[in-house]
Structure 1
Amino acid sequence: MQQLEGILPLWKEAGMTSHDCVFKLRKILKMKRIGHTGTLDPDVEGVLPICLGQATKVAEYVMAQGKAYRATVSLGKATTTEDASGDVIASVDNPIHLESIQLQDTLTQLTGTITQTPPMYSAVKVNGRRLYEYAREGKVIDRPSREVTIHSLTLVKEPSVWTGEEIDFEIEVVCSKGTYIRTLAVQIGKLLGVPAHMKKLIRTQAGGFGVAETRTIQQVAELYEEQRMDELLQPIERSLTEWPFHEIPADLEKAFSNGQVLPAHTDLLIHDKIVIGKNGVAHAVYRAHPEKPGYMKPEKMFTRPEMEIQ
């Protein structure tokens, strides 16, 4: 049986949840230690990095990286879920008249740091329960707003019509973790003065992985049967490039392997973390000790083979 470890760039197809993908991959790859890097709604397709083996320890680092989406925004109707799966709760009484300069100005206004309130149909927890659990009971509760960053918001396909009771257009969004594209579609409508929802969504980038690197579950199964998973799996180090890498000094190898608290590296004056390893292979992620100034402690430890990454 193949011993698999690393990050698998999966193309999640529509109709499956992120959990469904993990369930199927556990059967295909004959292993239990598999985790996804954030939920994608069943109707959404796109890039979903999957962590195998020791790589499950870096899932939070993968999730923290920015994401990119291509979305179809529909003006004219609002829904309970803010996407096409929900019930219509508002619609226009008269045809919408939209101009190019008006739409471009709206997208500009929503670029940068913006505030979003998570939709009721989301997995955010409030008072120990998921928001969608309240929503299914017909309840609407207060939920905390949060700031997210829209790095870029671009119109990639103009509306086919600029006047009508329903106007659709495509946008490309590069954004921070925690951004709800459904809510962004609603915010676009609000600035334009009309109800709106997200009609379709594709995630084109996540965790530093793009569409070209991904494979579907069926393709993963074929690669596994042909013992060619090394063509797809990416090393743990791929998720650690944000921080400087340092080789383990020979006299400190035992201390590092035991996860001991050590004098802080000077790089921690600039970076919040550093990566410690041997022969290019990461063995630990260290951060400044929160209670002992001048020292550092391991945040993550990896059990890794002593080999060079080719």
Structure 2
Amino acid sequence: MKGNSIFKSDGIVLLNKSRGISSFKAINKLKWIIGSSKVGHAGTLDPIAEGLLIVMVNNATKFSDNLMKRDKEYFVELELGYETDTYDTEGEITEKYEGNIDVSTEGIIEAVNSFTGEIMQVPPMYSAIKINGEKLYELARKGIEVEREARKVKIYSIREINVEYKEKCKISFYTEVSSGTYIRSLVRDIGRKLGVYATMTKLVRTKIDKYNIKESVSLEEIEEKLDKDKETSGENVCKDISNNMEKVKEIIKFKNIECIFNYEKISVSEEKYKKLKNGMTVLVGFKKFKEIHTVTENKLYCIYVKNEMTEQKEFKGIVKVIRKGHDKVYLKREKYFI
């Protein structure tokens, strides 16, 4: 499918990224499979991490900032007793606790829970944050460590803390955090608080805002379903996407772009829709809005137009309030408009 742009729809795919593949490679493999022109993701996952990756397809990539800044939930596993330069098992051991780890389960749970709330967190050197135009992980690979400013992040909750004492002491938990939180740094700080060091051994992103990993699909599942469909139908759906678009959407669990927006919905006539599409300002009456007192300048709305053939209202894009008059509201199209 490489080089072709067959999949024209704008929207998102909730991809369950496997461990061992980079986010970039994962989304580009999906792009190749479906033949879309553009893909992007709303928040990278390191190769060691797995789980939910929101893949924006075609013009949905315009809203990467909107999706990237949303809260997230993770399942975390860590080991006590050592620390690495990357704060996970991909790095070199830099600190090791030589004595017996004699920390009670109650002490561990108390220490982990103490990070709930607003905390100041220092990002790891192995991160994509830029300092003077250079990414931190590029400096780290050169053996250069620079001072990083602590950032305010929020740990909304930590739950289901489990402690195992075997050859090594292992801890796992779920945590809901604000955008920009580094779980590897959280793990490092837990280890330091306990005084025995810690390293992250597993990370699974389970939620991004309202999107849940339970709704997602893996690349392996997509390929398996495409192969199975080929065996049963005698056709290669992947090679003939233009004639099997709905089947492909079903396989990749495609969500149309309107699911991204939490804006109120309003309907306009075909005539006003065409004017909006041409960049003109249109006037609509107060009765189009559920609560007219909430309509303010620069507020955004999802626009729908009735399809005369199907009688269904179809999403057409985003509009912005330019002005609120005596009995009319002035609207103009935003950057996403079909």
TM range (shorter): 0.7 to 0.9
Against the structure 1 CA distance between its residues 41 and 77, is the aligned structure 2 distance closer, same or farther, given a 3 Å change threshold? same
In the TM superposition, residue 287 of structure 1 has moved relative to its aligned partner by: 7.5
Name the residue aligned to 1:69: 74
Q: Does 1:246 align with 2:248?
A: no
* Distance (whole Å) between structure 2 residues aligned to residue 177 and residue 184 of structure 1: 14
2:142 to 131, 137, 140: 137
Compute the displacement of 1:68 (Å): 1.2
Distance in 2 (alpha carbons) for counterparts of 1:106 and 1:113: 15
Deviations, residues 162-204 of structure 1 (Å, cap 9, x unaligned): xx7x411111111111111101101111221221111111111
1:147–1:261 Cα change, 3 Å: farther
Structure 2 gap segments, 5+ residues each: 1-5, 227-235, 238-243, 284-291, 306-312, 324-328
Alignment of 1:17-36 (within 5 A): 17-36=22-41
**Residue number in structure 2 paired with 1:306:** none
Alpha-carbon distance, 1:38 to partner:
1.7
* Whole-angstrom CA distance in 1 between matches of 2:297 and 2:97: 53
Q: Please identify, of 254-263 and 181-190, the stretch whose mean Cα deviation from structure 2 is larger.
A: 254-263
2:40/2:57 contact within 8 Å kept: yes
Indicate which of 318, 326, 334 corresponds to 1:284. 318
Q: Which amino acid in structure 2 is aligned with residue 239 of structure 1?
A: I
Larger Rg: 2
State how far apart, in whole Å, the 2-side matches of 1:117 and 1:199 are: 20
d(CA) in 1 for partners of 2:100, 2:281: 66
Distance (Å, rounded) in 2 between the aligned partners of 1:285 and 1:126: 37
Structure 1 distance, partners of 2:188, 2:19, is 22
Contact 2:120 2:153 in 1 (8 A): yes
Instruction: Determine which structure has greater relative contact order: mean sequence separation of CA pairs < 8 Å that are 6+ residues apart, divided by chain length.
Output: 1
**Retained in 2: the 8 A contact 1:36–1:49?**
yes
- Alignment of structure 1 residues 66-215 onto 2, 5 Å: 66-161=71-166, 166-215=168-217
CA distance in 2, matches of 1:104, 1:288: 52
2-side partners of 1:222 and 1:209: how far apart?
A: 24
1:229 corresponds, among 248, 257, 262, to 248
Which one-letter code corresponds to 1:171 in the other structure? Answer: F
**Deviation of residue 42 (structure 1)?**
0.6
SS of 2:43's partner is coil
Distance 1:3 1:275, change over 3 A: closer
Instruction: Write the distance in 2 (CA, Å) between the matches of 1:207 and 1:236.
Output: 16
- Where structure 1 has 5 or more consecutive residues not aligned to the other structure, the ranges are 304-310
The AA in structure 2 aligned to 1:256 is: L
Q: Against the structure 1 CA distance between its residues 75 and 246, is the aligned structure 2 distance closer, same or farther, given a 3 Å change threshold?
A: same
Q: Which one-letter code corresponds to 1:244 in the other structure?
A: E
Measure the CA separation in 2 of the matches of 1:142 and 1:285: 44
Measured after TM superposition, the shift of residue 261 of structure 1 is 6.8
Distance verdict in 2 for CA 1:143–1:112, change over 3 Å? same
Deviations 1:225-269 (A, max 9, x none): 54422221012122212x323334677534532456789x85365
Percent identical among aligned pairs is 30
CA–CA distance in structure 1, aligned partners of residues 127 and 18 of structure 2: 20
Q: 1:2 to 1:90 in 2, by over 3 A?
A: closer
How far apart, in 1, do the equivalents of 2:182 and 2:214 lie? 24
Preserved CA contact (<8 Å) 1:277 1:284: no
Counterpart residue type for residue 220 of structure 2 = Q
Distance (Å, rounded) in 2 between the aligned partners of 1:261 and 1:126? 43
Contact 1:66 1:208 in 2 (8 A): no
Output the CA distance in 2 between the equivalents of 1:134 and 1:11. 30
Residue 50 (structure 1) aligned to one of 31, 36, 55: 55
Pair 1:99–1:249, CA change in 2 (3 A): farther
RMSD after superposition: 2.9
| Cα pair distance change 1:54/1:223, threshold 3 Å | farther
Letter in 2 for 1:210: N
Per-residue CA deviation, residues 89-134 of structure 1 (Å, 9 max, x unaligned), is 1111211211232222222221111111110000111111110011
